[in-house]
């Protein structure tokens, strides 16, 4: 029996990073197969809060986040679908003078790196952006030209656009092992063999399965960030809002519903693909939301959910070539803030696959930083 | 707060299960959204005035005995309690009196009954359109009947029962419009001999039909292409029957296409479900003790598959025996003997079901709604949009939900879920089992945010020290 498929590149994982890498590889004329153990966007990519945020990123992420933002602004030209992308301010609220001081230091740091997108807001400027914010909030930090999108719709759009360029998707197909034979990578799956010259590992919380088999284990932790959504409220908030001293991510969608997240975690089980909510934790999310926006005291929660996401111990992703195997490239472990990076990192991965190098400053994300210390 | 057995739902199955388990000495808590026992079928059965009780008939009155036995059983009872989450360790999160708390259970009986099948038809979202079940609730609980003759349209035994009850209450329906296709009776007739073994059901049905004729209620049979007309409000029902188009005016149209198990709790708990071709819905996969694929989660009553009130009570007792068996709390021989008797009665009572299922299978029009018909009422998604999403590549209801928002509104998909599964299955040329159903996420019903903010988890309830391990806590093999 011949292989299931033969391509220039096999992408492992059908989340936004896998779909974006596949699309960008196809745009460079490579033939691509994507293998996904569930369905496209089943986990973090389909169910995240949808924030398209540069604000508050780890300094190492700022350049690639800024690059990805440029792609988001012309997302419809890239994937033939607007992905529900809306330009909006991202605001981090300071609930005390001490928090505002922290934000001021942060703004100075970002300016020092040569980026101007994060601006400090005083009391009045904060209220210009967030008229409904609680009285105790003293200011904030904003990135005015960020936004949000609809996660499943966006990932599905990347898949469809990739398909129109000939990318083949093998869903409900699980990679069991990979091995190199001459210049050909062979991926054994539960539905047959995939053969390719290069492999891109975008397997999210499951990214270590590929890395470990190459002898470069990476400590990915499966986490399940939880979210809540309310019944529609009258329009009161146009920006995407976070807090400084406690977890919060908050936004009102165009239909009036409010999505509240911010990183409080449920229970993730990557073996069974399941995640459970913990309402003893979510009540804190509800409290924070009502304290930052008093109008939320009248809201009703319609649904809560969580998705499985891969987190690295240093909260920044693994991006770049394998340090052990030739023609394998990693992009996983985005630590609950990878959605915005999807378009940009996919483009960087395609550049790596096609040319072997990239100008993007990805050195801090090398998998080599997790060298075993035996 | 802790208990040995939590029961959700105080209909016949929940009442019977709670009663039997409490009699055997288990600490039982029964949670129910209604203010009084009875569920939908026996709603208000303890308090209904004698005249209304006579009107509702002897089958309804039978519920009073179940309620009385439950009251005497010593089972804990939490009326007006909405269970909005159950997690995999059987922590039950519920709202009662504006306060949300948690109860830790060692076993669970889900007795959340049935829902009316969604009936997506042109105009079904207009004000003035309701369901037969909703009209019957108004009659049972409040003695309310419509001031204007209602049109009852669709398929199923409830349609005739409600028509009969409304007529006897002095508010005969303007018309009964049945969508059972011509020839269906003949197809269903092969189940007739078996059905004759079930006590009284067929005779009751024939009696109701005769009574409607006597009362002069027009009965239109084999109706197709139903359209509820009206701009701001329902004004008329039009349909094709007997080779021509009819139009009957009324501001009140009650639709019905039978009932289906309420899967919300069993889906939330990720119990395995299987598609039933004869009932055209998903049923939880259950063992002979009504235990689901999730250990210590039992399902009784119509939630286990539509069987009606008498079967529900029998199943409730059997599920309680299953729980007792799990806990080793009842001697094996006594358990088998009691269960054997219940199972024989269950077989007899269920004999009428194949006939009813064949005769009253839902109409083709609601299973395959026209493209422009709204399927998800909460988010206003049409059948055509769902088909279009499938053509784009959406493989199932969860992707359609993420893409179109169908099933994302306050009803959590109760009103559109089965229709969405059927539409996607038909469009993809697959069976509903493969296409599957929405993943259900908590809260099961909308919950005020401030109530969640002060949610009392089991670990922070004062005085809730872990109990000593019960001596009988061993699982039967």
Closest CB to B392: pick one of A160, A286, A289: A160
Q: Using the beta-carbon criterion (under 8 Å), do B399 and A300 form an inter-chain contact?
A: no
The whole model's pTM is what? 0.93
A159 CB neighbours in chain B (<8 A) are: 393
Q: Does the structure show a pLDDT above 70 at B474? A: no
Closest CB to A305: pick one of B102, B409, B441: B441
Answer whether A38 touches B (CB < 8 Å). Answer: no
Q: What is the maximum alpha-carbon separation in chain B?
A: 72
Report the gap between the CA of A300 and the closest CA in chain B (Å): 4
Q: Using the beta-carbon criterion (under 8 Å), do A290 and B449 form an inter-chain contact?
A: yes
B452 CB neighbours in chain A (<8 A) are: 228, 279, 282-283, 286, 301
* pLDDT tens digits, A68-82: 999 999 999 999 999
Answer whether A289 touches B (CB < 8 Å). Answer: yes
Chain A residue with Cα closest to B395? A39
Q: Which of A212, A177, A127, A157 is nearest to A45 (CA)?
A: A157
Q: What residues form DSSP beta bridges with A32?
A: A9
Report the gap between the CA of B453 and the closest CA in chain A (Å): 4
Q: A2-6, A30-34, B206-210, B464-468 — which is least confidently predicted?
A: B464-468
Answer whether A281 touches B (CB < 8 Å). Answer: no
| Average pLDDT, consecutive stretches of 10 residues, N- to C-terminus, chain A (374 residues) | 90 98 98 97 94 97 98 98 97 98 97 96 98 98 97 98 98 96 96 98 97 96 96 96 95 95 92 93 96 97 96 98 97 97 98 97 97 58
Chain A residue with Cα closest to B399? A152
Q: How far is CA B413 from CA B205, B283, B445, in A?
A: 32, 16, 11
Report the gap between the CA of A251 and the closest CA in chain B (Å): 15
Chain B residue with Cα closest to A255? B379
- What was the pLDDT predicted at A372? 60
What percentage of chain B's residues is helix, strand, coil (to nearest 5)? 40, 20, 40
ipTM for the predicted complex comes to 0.92
Cα separation, B270 vs A302, in Å, equals: 19
Best residue in B449, B454, B458, B460 to probe A by mutation, most A CBs within 10 Å? B449
Q: Which of residues 167-186 of A touch B (CB under 8 A)?
A: 171
Q: Using the beta-carbon criterion (under 8 Å), do B402 and A279 form an inter-chain contact?
A: no
Give yes or no for a contact between A186 and A33, defined as CB atoms under 8 angstroms apart: no
DSSP H or E segment with residue B78: strand B76-78
- DSSP for B82-122 reads EEEEE-TT-EEEEEETTEEEEEEEEEEEE---EEEPP---T
Cα separation, B225 vs B338, in Å, equals: 49
Give yes or no for a contact between A295 and A236, defined as CB atoms under 8 angstroms apart: yes
Q: Which two tokens stand for residue A239?
A: 């920006």
Beta strands in B318-450 (DSSP E): 374-376, 381-382, 447-448
Q: Does the structure show a pLDDT above 90 at B205? A: no
Give yes or no for a contact between B418 and B426, defined as CB atoms under 8 angstroms apart: no
Cα separation, B313 vs B320, in Å, equals: 11
SS3 sequence of B293-312: CCCCEEECHHHHCCCHHHHH
B431 Cα distance to chain centroid: 23
A280 CB neighbours in chain B (<8 A) are: 455, 457, 459-460
Q: Does the structure show a pLDDT above 60 at B421? A: yes
Give yes or no for a contact between A158 and A16, defined as CB atoms under 8 angstroms apart: yes
Report the gap between the CA of A276 and the closest CA in chain B (Å): 7
Per CB distance under 8 Å, which residues of B are interface residues toward A? 85, 87-88, 93, 102, 270, 392-396, 399, 402-403, 408-410, 412, 441-443, 446-450, 452-455, 457, 459-460
Closest CB to B447: pick one of A159, A163, A300: A300
Cβ-based neighbour number of residue B49 at 10 Å: 10
Give yes or no for a contact between B463 and B426, defined as CB atoms under 8 angstroms apart: no
Report the gap between the CA of A154 and the closest CA in chain B (Å): 9
Q: How far is CA B16 from CA A37, B105, B141, in A?
A: 44, 18, 21
Report the gap between the CA of B265 and the closest CA in chain A (Å): 14
Instruction: For CA atoms B426, B430, B432, B436, give the dihedral sign.
Output: negative
- B29-47 burial, b at 16+ Cβ within 10 Å, e below that, comes to bbbbbbebbbbbbbbbbee
- What was the pLDDT predicted at B473? 41
Cα separation, B272 vs B274, in Å, equals: 7
Torsion angle defined by CA atoms of residues B29, B34, B39 and B41, in that order, rounded to the nearest 10 degrees: 170
Q: Using the beta-carbon criterion (under 8 Å), do B452 and A283 form an inter-chain contact?
A: yes
Mean pLDDT of B36-40: 94
Closest CB to B412: pick one of A39, A283, A303: A303
Give yes or no for a contact between B217 and B173, defined as CB atoms under 8 angstroms apart: yes
Residue B467's pLDDT band, with cuts at 50, 70 and 90, is: very low
Give yes or no for a contact between B117 and B363, defined as CB atoms under 8 angstroms apart: no
Q: Using the beta-carbon criterion (under 8 Å), do B452 and A301 form an inter-chain contact?
A: yes
B184 Cα distance to chain centroid: 24
The secondary structure of residue A80, as a DSSP letter, is: S
Answer whether A102 touches B (CB < 8 Å). Answer: no
The secondary structure of residue A225, as a DSSP letter, is: B
Q: What is the maximum alpha-carbon separation in chain A?
A: 70
- Strand arrangement of the beta sheet that strand B253-257 belongs to: B129-131, B253-257, B151-155, B175-178, B219-220
Q: How far is CA A114 from CA A59, A64, A248, A253, A345, in A?
A: 11, 14, 27, 32, 21
* pLDDT tens digits, B68-121: 999 999 999 999 999 999 999 999 999 999 999 999 999 999 999 999 999 999
3-state secondary structure of B315: helix
Choose between A84 and B459: higher pLDDT. Answer: A84
Closest CB to A280: pick one of B392, B402, B457: B457
Answer whether A47 touches B (CB < 8 Å). Answer: yes
Q: Mean pLDDT, chain B, as a whole number?
A: 93
Q: What residues form DSSP beta bridges with A140?
A: A93, A121
- What was the pLDDT predicted at B470? 43
Q: Which two tokens stand for residue B134?
A: 């909703």
* pLDDT tens digits, A330-341: 999 999 999 999
Q: What domains lie within chain A, and their CATH numbers?
A: 5-49+152-219+314-369 (3.50.50.60), 87-144+225-306 (3.30.9.10)
What percentage of chain A's residues is helix, strand, coil (to nearest 5)? 35, 30, 40
Give yes or no for a contact between B206 and B154, defined as CB atoms under 8 angstroms apart: no
């Amino acid at each position: 029996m011949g292989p299931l498929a033969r391509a220039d590149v096999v992408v492992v994982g059908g989340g936004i990073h896998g779909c974006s890498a596949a699309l960008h590889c196809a745009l460079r004329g490579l033939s691509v197969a994507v293998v996904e153990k569930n369905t496209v966007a089943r986990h973090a990519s389909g169910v995240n809060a949808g924030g398209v945020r540069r604000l508050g990123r780890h300094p190492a992420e700022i350049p690639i986040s800024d690059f990805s933002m440029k792609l988001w602004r012309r997302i419809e030209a890239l994937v033939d679908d607007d992905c529900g992308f809306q330009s909006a301010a991202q605001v981090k609220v300071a609930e005390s003078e001490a928090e505002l001081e922290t934000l001021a230091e942060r703004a100075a740091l970002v300016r020092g790196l040569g980026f101007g997108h994060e601006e400090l807001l005083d009391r009045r400027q904060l209220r210009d952006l967030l008229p409904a914010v609680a009285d105790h909030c003293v200011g904030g930090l904003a990135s005015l030209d960020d936004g949000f999108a609809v996660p499943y719709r966006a990932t599905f759009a990347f898949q469809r656009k990739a398909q129109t360029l000939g990318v083949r998707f093998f869903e409900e197909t699980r990679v069991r092992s990979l091995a190199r034979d001459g210049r050909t990578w062979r991926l054994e799956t539960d539905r047959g063999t995939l053969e390719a010259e290069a492999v891109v590992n975008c397997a999210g919380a499951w990214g270590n399965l590929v890395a470990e088999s190459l002898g470069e284990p990476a400590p990915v932790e499966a986490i399940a960030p939880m979210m809540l959504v309310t019944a529609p409220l009258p329009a009161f908030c146009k920006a995407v809002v976070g807090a400084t001293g406690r977890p919060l991510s908050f936004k009102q969608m165009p239909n009036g519903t409010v999505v509240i997240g911010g990183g409080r975690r449920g229970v993730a089980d990557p073996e069974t693909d399941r995640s459970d909510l913990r309402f003893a934790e979510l009540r804190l999310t509800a409290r924070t939301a009502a304290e930052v926006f008093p109008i939320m005291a009248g809201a009703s929660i319609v649904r809560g959910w969580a998705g499985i996401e891969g987190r690295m111990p240093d909260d920044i992703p693994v991006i770049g070539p394998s340090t052990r195997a030739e023609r394998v490239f990693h992009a996983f472990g985005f630590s609950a803030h990878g959605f915005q990076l999807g378009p940009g990192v996919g483009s960087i991965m395609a550049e790596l696959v096609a040319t072997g190098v990239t100008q993007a400053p990805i050195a801090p994300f090398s998998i080599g930083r997790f060298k075993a210390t035996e | 707060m802790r208990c040995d057995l939590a029961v959700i739902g105080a209909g016949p199955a929940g009442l019977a299960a709670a009663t039997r388990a409490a009699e055997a000495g288990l600490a039982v808590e029964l949670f129910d959204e209604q203010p009084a026992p009875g569920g939908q079928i026996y709603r208000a059965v303890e308090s209904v005035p004698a005249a209304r009780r006579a009107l509702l008939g002897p089958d309804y009155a039978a519920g009073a005995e179940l309620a009385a036995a439950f009251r005497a059983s010593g089972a804990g009872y939490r009326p007006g309690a909405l269970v909005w989450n159950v997690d995999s360790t059987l922590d039950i999160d519920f709202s009662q009196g504006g306060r949300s708390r948690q109860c830790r259970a060692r076993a669970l009986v889900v007795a959340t009954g049935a829902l009316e099948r969604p009936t997506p038809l042109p105009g079904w979202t207009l004000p003035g359109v309701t369901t037969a079940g909703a009209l019957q609730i108004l009659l049972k609980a409040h003695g309310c009947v419509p001031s204007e003759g209602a049109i009852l349209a669709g398929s199923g035994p409830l349609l005739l029962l409600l028509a009969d009850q409304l007529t006897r209450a002095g508010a005969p329906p303007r018309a009964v419009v049945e969508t059972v296709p011509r020839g269906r009776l003949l197809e269903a007739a092969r189940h007739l001999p078996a059905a004759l073994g079930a006590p009284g059901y067929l005779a009751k049905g024939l009696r109701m039909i005769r009574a409607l004729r006597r009362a002069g209620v027009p009965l239109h049979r084999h109706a197709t292409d139903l359209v509820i007309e009206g701009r701001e409000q329902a004004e008329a029902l039009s349909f094709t029957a007997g080779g021509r188009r009819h139009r009957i005016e009324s501001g009140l149209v009650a639709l019905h296409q039978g009932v289906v198990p309420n899967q919300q709790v069993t889906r939330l708990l990720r119990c395995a479900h299987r598609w039933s071709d004869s009932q055209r819905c998903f049923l939880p996969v259950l063992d002979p003790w009504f235990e689901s694929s999730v250990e210590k989660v039992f399902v009784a009553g119509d939630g286990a598959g539509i069987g009606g009130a008498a079967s529900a009570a029998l199943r409730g007792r059997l599920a309680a025996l299953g729980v007792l068996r799990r806990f080793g709390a009842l001697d094996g021989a006594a358990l088998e003997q009691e269960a054997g008797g219940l199972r024989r009665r269950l077989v007899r009572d269920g004999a009428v079901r194949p006939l009813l299922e064949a005769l009253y299978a839902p109409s083709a029009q609601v299973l395959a709604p026209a493209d422009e018909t709204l399927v998800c009422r909460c988010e206003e998604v049409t059948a055509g949009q769902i088909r279009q999403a499938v053509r784009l590549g959406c493989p199932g209801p969860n992707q359609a939900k993420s893409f179109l928002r169908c099933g994302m509104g306050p009803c959590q998909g109760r009103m559109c879920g089965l229709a969405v599964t059927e539409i996607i299955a038909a469009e993809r040329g697959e069976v509903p089992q493969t296409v599957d159903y929405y993943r259900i996420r908590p809260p099961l019903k909308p919950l005020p945010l401030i109530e969640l903010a002060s949610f009392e988890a089991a670990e922070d309830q004062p005085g809730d020290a872990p109990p000593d391990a019960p001596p009988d806590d061993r699982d039967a093999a």
